[in-house]
Amino acid sequence: MEYKATKQGYADALKELGHENEKVLVMDADVAKATLTEQFEAEFPNRFFNCGVQEQNMLSAAAGLALEGFIPFASTFGVFATCRAGDQMRSSIAYPKLNVKIGVTHCGISVGGDGASHQSNEDIGMARTLPNMTVIVPGDYEESRLATHAAAKMKGPVYLRFGRDKYPVVPEIHGSFEIGKAKTLREGTDVTIITTGILVNEGLVAATTLEEKGHSVRVVHMHTIKPLDTEAVLKAARETKGIVTAEEHSILGGLGEAVAGVVAENHPCPVQRVGVMDTFGESGQSQELLDLYGLRAPNIVEKAMKIIS
């Protein structure tokens, strides 16, 4: 299996957009080597701005640039964009509905050795609760590239979430990309697995395991957390016995709660959530942490069997 970084898909898309549209600008908060936006800087030095370790000022400046007709991509780590610059994201970007794209890397437990201070397991929830904010969590390198292009084309604030590590390339999610439209990767009638971000591969592996046990499994990849594809969620609720959500994020505030809310209000069915269980992470290798915090196919299988049983 091939592994590539989702943040590289973001970086490659930024370079492509730089050639396509002179209004595209990139900003960074002194972590351009880590976010890979330095690759855009190398090709377009006059359209790149290193704002220093000043995430709040970066988002405020991005808002000003958007008001002047530019399309700024403001990049930093997920935890800094949401926790440190949350006020500017809310008041300066989301409230006036400005055309700012917030591209964040180093998200989730797989940030690894940087530990709890840098593992943003809460950021989807923080961004998702902001009115006017679109929240996209791509599953692999290619989908990250497509998502970045889609974000540039739409008008309004977007939160784009990428990881630090290299993750499996999943051909099933390639092709077209439509914001707010989930991708059904497999059809099934016993249980539905809804994934987002890098757990899409784990969801497919879990589905194969369950199918080998004789169960019919639907797999839905939800790359957009907001606006959520409620039609796909309710179709799964009506046509299968229940839903398992899988995300590299806290079970609070992210995909799991979004899906459970839609189901509870419209068509109640069992929902089981795979994610970080309301705890801070710890330092370790990314793959070890995915194991330790139960973000693997066997954990999805276990939750699915509770529904099937």
Question: Does residue 256 contact residue 247 with C-beta atoms inside 8 Å?
Answer: yes
55: annotated active-site residue: yes
Q: Tokens 């970084």: give the residue.
A: 5
- Active-site residue among 41, 55, 142, 247? 55
Closest of 43, 127, 116 to residue 90, by C-alpha = 127
Alpha-carbon distance of 183 to 178, in angstroms, equals: 9
CA of 58: how far to CAs of 61, 92, 124, 161, in Å?
5, 11, 20, 18
Question: Does residue 198 contact residue 110 with C-beta atoms inside 8 Å?
Answer: yes
Query: Which secondary structure element, helix H or strand E, spans residue 199, and what is its range?
Result: none
DSSP characters for 51-96? --S-HHHHHHHHHHHHHTT-EEEEEEEHHIIIIISHHHIIIIIITT
Q: Rounded to 5 degrees, what angle do the CA atoms 122, 78, 64 make?
A: 120
* 178 contact partners, CB below 8 Å, separation of at least 6: 150
Question: Does residue 238 contact residue 297 with C-beta atoms inside 8 Å?
Answer: no
Alpha-carbon distance of 309 to 306, in angstroms, equals: 5
Report helix, strand or coil for 300: helix
Catalytic site positions: 55
